[in-house]
Each structure stands twice: as C-alpha cells, then as structure tokens.
Structure 1
Amino acid sequence: MKKTDKTSQTGKQPLALLGGISAETFLAEYWQKKPLLIRGAIPDFAGLLSPDELAGLACEEDAQARLVSQVKGQWRLRQGPFAEEVFAKLPQKNWTLLVQGVNHHLPSAMALLQQFSFIPHARLDDLMVSYAPSGGGVGPHFDSYDVFLLQGQGSRLWRISEQRDLAIVEDAPLRILQRFDTAQEWVLEAGDMLYLPPHLAHWGIAVGDCMTYSIGFRAPSAQELGSEFLAYLQERCALEGMYADPDLSLQAHPAEISVGMLNRVANMLEPLRWQPEDIAHFLGCYLSEPKPHVVFDVPPTMRPATFAKKLQTHALALDLKTQMLFFRDALFINGEKVDMHEPARPLLISLADRRQIEPQEIKDTELLSLLHDWYQAGYVEFV
C-alpha cells in the first residue's frame, strides 16, 4: 500500500484528515480504487462517547444496535434494542457491540461526519460506532460500500486481503468469508484511520478494549434503484383513457395476442417516459428519505411571529436526523421536494451544505413560512 505523500501537492489544499494530501488527490487516486492508511488523521482523538454510553444508546428504542459474538467457533448475532442486564452477562472477550446512526443522537457525531464533506452528502450513510473487548470483531468480510475506519480508544489490528474469492460461509448470521489471505496488516491507535474501497476483504480484531468509528457511504444496487424509481413514477404518472379497439377484426386464433393489440397498448403507454430531471428529483427524494425507524421529535407550538423574532438572535440548524439535498432549483428535505425561489435559494443551499444558518432577519414571508413549517415538523431546530 502506498502511504500518503505530503510533498505531492501542486497548489491543492492539503487535508490533515487525509494525512496531508488534498481531497482532489484522494478522489483521483484512492476513492473506490485502493486503500489508504492515515496515521494521526485526527491527533489525540479520544472518541465521542464511552463504552457505557454506547451500551446505553444500544438500549434505546430508536437505535439500531447489534451484538456479534463467536462461541466455540460459531458466529452469533443478536439485534437490539437491548436490556441493560444483557451487557452484565457478556464474556470478557470475543464479542462486539455495534450501533448504527450515532450521528442521529450526538451533535459531536454529526460534526465528525461534516469533516468528510469532500464526499457529497448524497453518498453519506451514517456513523457506526463499535466497542469490543480483546479478540472482538465481526470476522473476515467485505462491504459493498466505501468506509473510513477511524480508531477511537484502544487499538485494533486490521488485516486486508487482495483476494478475489469472496465466497461466504453458508447459513452464518453474518457475511463471513470462507477463506481469508492476509496481504497486509496494521495496528491502528487512537486517531489513526483506514480507508477501504468496496469489496476489499478485511478483518478487524480488537487488541484489548477498543472502539472504532465507521464512516460509511451509500451504494444502492441497480435493482434497488430501478424498483424505487418505478415506484416513484407510479405515484406521479397518471395515464388517461381506456383500452378500446373499434377496428377489431376477426382472428384465426382467438388465443393469440394480436399485433394490433400490442400497438394500441404501446400507444397508451407512450407517456411513460422520463427526462434526466425526473431522475434527479427521484434521487433527491429517495436519498433524503429517512430510514423507517427514524422519528422526528415535534417541538411545542411556536407562533410564526415568535419564530421570526427568535431567528434574528439564534442560529437555525438541521435536526441531526434531517437530510437535505438540492438539484438546480429543487430542494429535497427528508423525502419531500420543495421548489426554491430567489432570493431564498442561496440561504437554503447554505443550510443544505453547512446544516446551519446564522441568526438573521428574514423578510421573505414565503421562506419564513417554509422554515417555520420545518421547525414545527422537527426538521430544524434553534441552536
């Protein structure tokens, strides 16, 4: 593996998070191409929460948590939420607790994700945090998406393989590789980070108690995109008329579907076409749609005038669970499409990019009404 080259910059801004190379260099040379080991990506990184706090989060109803263990050579998987007494009964080693979507619960987790904004928000999935005592891990496996593995407290041994054989163990509750050939391995300490492209076999093993922060990115399959796009079209396409054949002629075979019928139905379905903008609007709604378990907390009712006055002295930020994207003059927030108008467009784009706008007086009544509606729905909140 090639280490980061801090001297290869040609006027591009180096990023400490990427070991001194620029985001442009990372995207061109590493993204979806090859792994990258970054020592001291976030120096003195102590993590965002303790093992006990992670366990407490795993007990919450709206948290996606898993417990992975290996007992007598057999892998076991338990889905959360968990009762507190579950953790008191765990052995001293060879298990892992994983909690997805920590960025939905901790502002510091969302702030960590913002450091990876050189990757479009539309590609970001979530921050998963794992805790494991000595020997813990989820076995040799591969992911279908890109991931940055940032080490929190403790140490973890990472092994990667260049193998093309990705056959998995049958009937296992996890996608464990049948065979793993180690090509390289490193021990990551607090603040070190490893980037892995999709389908690269890897295996992480806790060296003593450790916590790992996994920044994952979405990679939907073509089948999933196709199915969701067709469903999107179905909701928005209304075809008129009914099948009719006043020129029907006698057929030699009554069981045969005639060419005439094919042509008539083809003409009826002719409006089922789409433009690139239709795909963009589908992606905006689909990629910003909250996952099924996500529920927004609705604040107490605030009158529009009170909201406008408070906006003059308080910053307004997206709720941790909110996803906002845009395409040209179309804005997408939590699966909903909104048409942006001038002069609201720059401010809404800034809110989508930075997830926050500073205190200010907004005189655009339409924009004020929109922000107020979002506030009442729990999509945005005052800082």
Structure 2
Amino acid sequence: MATITELPGGLAADVFLRDYWQKKPLVIRQAFVDFECAVSADELAGLACEESVESRLIVEQENGAPWQLHNGPFTPEQLTSPPAGNWTLLVQGLDHWVPEIADILDHFRFVPNWRLDDIMASYAPPGGSVGPHYDQYDVFLLQAQGHRRWQFGGRCDAGSPRLEGTPLRILSDWQAEETVVLAPGDMLYVPPGIGHHGIAEDECITLSVGFRAPTTDDLLTGFTDFLCSETPVDGHLPDLNPELPDNPGEIQPQVLEQLRSLIVDQIDNPRQLALWFGQFSTAPKNADIVMPAEQPMQADELKSWLASGAILRWNEGSRFAYTGLEQQTALFVDGDRYLLSGDARPLAQVLCAASRPDQQALLALCADDTLAELLTVLHNQGSVYFE
C-alpha cells in the first residue's frame, strides 16, 4: 500500500498536518462521495446488546436530571422502548466488529498506525445529541446516514464551566463560532480542546474516527511497570560514603543525586523505550477482540492459501507497528513483540503498511520457513485471517 498523501476529499495530507492538525477545525464536503453506511440502526442496537461490545445510551433529560448516562450491554426491550425525549446510542469500536467499517481507517493512515484508535457510531433520532463538550484527542466526524447540525469552535480546557448534575463533561457556558449541517459523506475534523455540539436533524448515524492521546500518567505508569518486568529490580540502595549528619532529619543532597543517577540509568535506554512503546501502543483494547482462530493452520497450509490468491488481512481490532533497532527490526502485534534480523526484517514493513498487506510480498517472504511459521502464529492467535 502506498503512503496516504491525501485526505478523503482530496486535501493534501501534508497541508492538513501543517495547517489544521491539532490547530483548527476543518469541514470537508463529500469526503466520501455516495457514501452508504455499512450498518443500520437496528444492527447498532443489536451490537449494543452484546456483552463484548462497549455501548452507552445518553438521555438529555431524565426524571429532571440533565444528560444522564446508561452503560450497556442493553436488553432488546430497553432499545425497542427508548426513553422519552432526546437521546443518543453510542457503540464504541464499531470497526472491531464490522470489516467494512474497519476499511474506513485505511483512509486515515497519513498518521502512524499507533495514533489511530477506533471508530465509534452515534445513532440518534431527530433532536438527539450528546451535549456540548470537547475531547482530549483528534476526531473526524463522518456523517454516515441522515443529517446532523454541528456547532463548533472556541478552545476549552479543564477550567471551562461544566454543567452540574450529570456524569458527563457537558459545557455549561459555551458559545459556538460556526454552524454547519453535514449530509452523508460530509466530514468535520475537530482538534483536541475545541468545543463541539452535534444535533440530529433527522434519524442519523455519525461515525467518529478517533485518535489516541495517551496521558502522561499512562505513559509513566506503563513504562515503569515495563522496566520492573524487564530489568533486575531486586537490588537495594547502598549507603555510599556515609558522613556524620549535622541533623539526622536532613535528606542530604548526595542521597538525592544518588537516587537521580539510579533512576536515569534505568530509563535512559533507547532500546527499552522502543520495545515498551511498541507493546504499549499495540495492546488490544480488550481481551475479546483478538480470539484464536477457529481452524488453526500449519505453515505449509498458510503458504498454499497465499499462493492461491486468498487475501490475508488484519483482525479488525488488531494493531500493528514496527520500529528499527540497531541490528534488528522489532515487530509489534497486539501487544507482543517479535525481533527480526537479516533478511527477515522487511516482513515488519510489509505487515504494517496496510490492513491487507501486499500478498505477493508476503508469499515471497514466506519462502523463509521461520517467517512462514511466524505468520502462521499470527493467524492462529487471531491477529490476521483470510477473507
């Protein structure tokens, strides 16, 4: 797959990254021409009843309380008799369960794979909304069915006033700067921290293509946990060059310097950082996404399928990435790492380039029995499958 150089709708990707990405909103009319939604409202409701699917129901007014939240899974009765008034059904990670929705993500690979998160579906009858809010991540709002009126603009932060009496972070004193109505195929990009509010004009479905923005807490906690599992941590802090203290209550500067040196020595390791972040950024969102293949294969069988022209593709919820090390390439798939050396290194680039990797390139690489075995492992654990 060639590098994505244009956004849906034709804007050059480098222009978008320079002028809009994490800076200002952008409306793209007919980003997807003649777009037809691959799921119906009834199918979304069915998914919202599944235990393994994350879903939410947001009600604008319920028993006098504003913007109330209900978490799934729901019963069919709850969704066939929804609450009175304005409401919205959200289904998270729709791309994990619907291959046609997962294919939409390939249009957004002008940013690295690890930055892409998932696609959320929002279904609402006329008037439905999730309220005025802002996100901490970038999002493309693709209108999939019906029409939604979007008000957006104005930078928000943790100090922006919020509505009380709701578990949601609803902005209480926010004035939009622009208003647009999106039709099927239209798309709105909203950067982090920009307020926005979408209201259904008619029965509509919006697909939100979200991007990852790990918190500093997630990064620090994840890396330190990794270091503790990968490096010896059973040593003790020695007492170097002890001196009689002027005051036994003082923590002396040389002790703090000793601590700083110990910590820096542990974290100042580019290889460890690369291995951790590859595993961290490709870990599945939950344990139900990547399931072992129902019919495991042997390596010869997998090569035979490739030779016959069968298309191998990623599991819709799997994540693939790689990074180059000094003498190796580290391939990361669903939180696991595989270190490739020599002629095996190109496999990482081929596998990570697209959700349907270059089949001829894979077949050529599988002439190496070790690589054929690795690809078979990925198939049998459920990270890839044949269409």
Structures share a fold, TM > 0.5? yes
Deviates more, 1:147-156 or 1:291-300: 291-300
Distance 1:208 1:93, change over 3 A: farther
How large is the RMSD of aligned CA atoms in angstroms?
2.5
Residue 90 of structure 1, aligned match among 82, 94, 107? 82
Partner of 1:144: 136
Say which of 97, 105, 108 aligns to 2:100.
108
Q: Which residue of 2 aligns with 1:306?
A: 301
Matches within 5 A, 1:221-240: 221-239=215-233
- Compared CA separation, residues 155 and 310, structure 1 to 2 (3 A): same
What are the equivalent positions in structure 2 for 1:1-383 lying under 5 Å apart?
Answer: 15=6, 17-18=8-9, 20-71=10-61, 72=64, 74-91=66-83, 93-162=85-154, 164=156, 166-239=160-233, 241-243=235-237, 257=251, 271-299=265-293, 300-313=295-308, 314-328=310-324, 329-357=329-357, 358=359, 360=363, 362-383=366-387
Q: Deviations over 1:275-300 (max 9, x none)?
A: 33433322211110112353422123
Aligned residues: 370
Alpha-carbon offset, residue 214 of structure 1: 0.5
Report the TM-score when normalising by structure 2: 0.88
The letter of the residue matching 1:33 is K
Shift of 1:202: 0.7
Shift of 1:39: 1.0
Cα distance in 2, alignment partners of residues 199 and 28 from structure 1: 18
**Do 1:96 and 1:138's aligned partners in 2 also have CA atoms closer than 8 Å?**
yes
Q: Tell which deviates more after alignment, 292-301 or 200-209.
A: 292-301
Code of the aligned partner of 2:117 = D
Note the C-alpha offset of 1:21.
2.0
Could you tell me which runs of 5 or more consecutive residues in structure 2 were left unpaired when the two chains were aligned. Answer: none
> Does the 8 Å contact 2:147/2:184 carry over to 1?
yes
CA distance in 1, matches of 2:340, 2:163: 50
Q: What's the TM-score once normalised by structure 1's chain length? A: 0.88
| CA contact 2:53–2:73 (8 Å) conserved in 1 | yes
1:372 counterpart letter in structure 2? T
CA contact (8 A) 2:114 2:321 kept: yes
Distance verdict in 2 for CA 1:214–1:250, change over 3 Å: closer
Compared with structure 1, are the counterparts of its residues 295 and 257 closer, same or farther at alpha carbon in structure 2 (3 Å cutoff)?
A: same
**Does the 8 Å CA contact 2:5/2:110 hold for their aligned counterparts?**
no
| Structure-1 separation of matches of 2:57 and 2:84 | 14
CA distance in 1, matches of 2:267, 2:74: 48
Instruction: State the shift of 1:150 in Å.
Output: 0.6
Q: Deviations over 1:188-236 (max 9, x none)?
A: 1111111111111110000111000100111112222122222222221
Whether the 8 Å CA contact 1:35–1:197 is kept in 2: the answer is yes
The structure-2 alpha-carbon separation of the partners of 1:160 and 1:241, relative to structure 1 and needing over 3 Å to count, comes to: closer
Does the 8 A contact of 2:25 with 2:190 survive in 1? yes
5+ residue gaps, structure 1: 1-12
Deviation string, structure 1 residues 68-87 (Cα, Å, up to 9, x no partner)? 01124621100011111111
CA distance in 2, matches of 1:263, 1:162: 45
SS in 1 for 2:88: strand
Alpha-carbon contact 2:149-2:199 (below 8 Å) kept: yes
